[in-house]
Amino acid sequence: MDTKYHALLKNNTWTLVPPPPHANIIGCKWVFKLKHKPDGNIDRCKARLVAKGYNQTPGIDYFETFSPAVKPSTISIVLTIALSSQWII
């Protein structure tokens, strides 16, 4: 957990700001999971810091969500199209 927390700080994952008035401040919690090797031995311990989003109300606590995630195959297809169309990358 300590390693993960320091990595989040090092990568500037968030910025601490004062809460706006009338804001519903949600908490967070650590989620731990053991990753196993194919032979069943423990490979590593994983830790994630997650928000308790179940305490939020859409339209009051948040208005939109954004989760950037791109699959490698999507990048490959876009680069192939750009190459065949002679676009500047």
What are the extents of the domains in the chain?
2-84
pLDDT at 12: 87
Locus of tokens 């090797």: 37
Above pLDDT 90, what percent of the chain? 29
82 pLDDT band, cuts 50/70/90, is very high
pLDDT at 23: 76
pLDDT at 84: 94
Cβ contact 89:82 at 8 Å: yes
pLDDT in tens, 15-68: 778 888 887 788 889 899 999 999 999 998 888 888 887 777 777 777 777 777
